[in-house]
Amino acid sequence: MVFKRLDGRKLDEMRPITAKVGIIPNADGSAMFTFGKTVAIAAVYGPRMLHPQHMQSPQQAILRVNYDLLSFSVSDRKRPGPSRRSQEISKVTEWSLSPALDLKEFPNTVIDVQIYILQADASTRVAGINAASMALAQAGIPMRNLVCSVAIGKMDKELVVDVDKDEEDFEEGEGATDIPLAKLANTDHYTLLQLDGKIQPSLIPKALLLADKACVQIYEIQKKALKEVVTE
């Protein structure tokens, strides 16, 4: 019996993706990235002066990421202000992006990355990472690679690509497992790996391969968005 996803997608099919660069004129770099109904926007300011001085590093730029949901992005209004969840996501996002950046070029400065979710339908942190990656490139930060990110899921026994909210809430059989991943494009280097659920170790390499394939497509979309904005 072939497993059917709730919205009819194939197991390895992502939701429709849109990507646009340069949406916030004040920012040094900015971008929007959507996975279906999940909409993330990111703005980069920097490298710029960092206050207070004692937070500066003489060896490299500090990368500071702030991720949060807008109050009306979720069904139950989220009260303004950073939650524990958003603080954790901010930190893992910072770790997912820093391997891509040549931070040593800008000692004593800060690069601020602001990520906000306008509309949440699961996979918010990975959408945010995809947007931030394009925004960092547009800001002219020297980068080894773009960072591509996607959430691999497991619904009962099947691995699926790009988890939406209904799938996140799936409860039959072995329930839902959520595996957000990010990697440096075109490499074997994974910069974000989180997991919630129930999964045999033997399935992890397969999850990575599914993410690899999805990230190849995401990279092409990010590249196209960056190239389009200058040729308009």
Partner 1 sequence: MSSMGLSSLTYNTLLRMFAEGKRFDGRKLIEQRDFTVEYNVSNKAEGSARVRMGNTEVVVGVKLDVAAPYPDSLDKGNLMVSGDLLPLASPRFESGPPRFPAIELPRLIDRMVRESHIIDLKKLVIVEGEKVWTVMIDIYPINDDGALIDAASIGTIAALLETYIPKLNEGGRVNHDAKPTEKLPLEKDLIPLTFTFYKLGDSLIIDPTREEEEACDGKIVWGLSTSKGKDHVIHSCQKGLESSMTREDIEQMMQHLPKVYDDTLKKLKKFLK
Partner 2 sequence: MEKFEKSQEEYEDFGSEPQSRIIVVPGEVVFSGEDFLPGEGARREGNDIVASRYGLAEKIGRVVKIIPFSGAFIPRRNNVVIGRVSDIVHSGWIVDIDYASNGFLPLMESPRFVNKGEMDQFLAIGDVVAAKIWSVSPKSIDLAMKGKGLGKLEGGFIFRVNPSRVPRIIGREGSMINLIKENTGCNITIGQNGWIWVKGNDLDSELRARKSIEFIAEKVLVSGLTEKMEGWFTKNK
The strands making up 29-35's β-sheet, listed across from edge to edge, are 17-21, 29-35, 38-49, 109-119, 62-69
- By beta-carbon proximity to partner 1, the closer residue of 73 and 191 is 73
Which range touches partner 2 (CB under 8 A), out of 44-52, 72-80, 122-130, 197-205? 44-52
Give min distance, CB of 21 to partner 2, in A. 9
Cβ of residue 181: shortest distance to partner 2, in angstroms? 17
Does 146 engage in binding with partner 2 (CB under 8 A)? yes
Region binding partner 2 by CB under 8 A among candidate stretches 33-41, 74-82, 143-151, 192-200: 143-151
Which one, 61 or 120, has the nearer CB to partner 1? 120
Can residue 29 be called a binding residue for partner 2 (CB under 8 A)?
Answer: yes
Quick one: what does residue 76 bind among partner 1, partner 2, none, with the CB cut-off 5 to 8 Å set by partner type? partner 1
Nearest to 157 by CA among 182, 144, 181, 176: 176
4: left (phi over 0), alpha (psi -120 to 50) or beta: beta
Among residues 57, 66, 98, 109, the one that binds partner 2 under rule CB under 8 A: 109
* Residue 206 touching partner 2 (CB under 8 A): no
Cβ(75)–Cβ(121) below 8 Å: no
CB of 27 to partner 1, least distance (A): 6
Residue 150 φ then ψ, to 5°: -155, 155
Nearest to 191, CA basis, from 92, 66, 115, 78: 92
Q: Does 175 bind partner 1 (CB under 8 A)?
A: no
Measured in whole angstroms, the distance separating CA 203 from the mean position of its chain's CA atoms is: 22
Buried b or exposed e, range 116-125, using 16+ CB within 10 angstroms: bbebbbbbbb
- Strands 190-193, 109-119: pairing is unpaired
CA-nearest of 118, 96, 97, 93 to 41 is 118
Q: Smallest distance from the beta carbon of 231 to partner 2, in angstroms? A: 6
Strands 17-21 and 29-35: antiparallel
Q: 36, 46, 128, 180: which one contacts partner 2 (CB under 8 A)?
A: 46
Site residues, partner 2 (CB under 8 A): 28-29, 46-50, 58, 100, 102, 106-109, 137-146, 184-186, 222-223, 226-227, 230-231
Site residues, partner 1 (CB under 8 A): 23-28, 37, 39, 41-43, 45, 48, 66, 70-77, 80, 112, 114, 116, 118-120
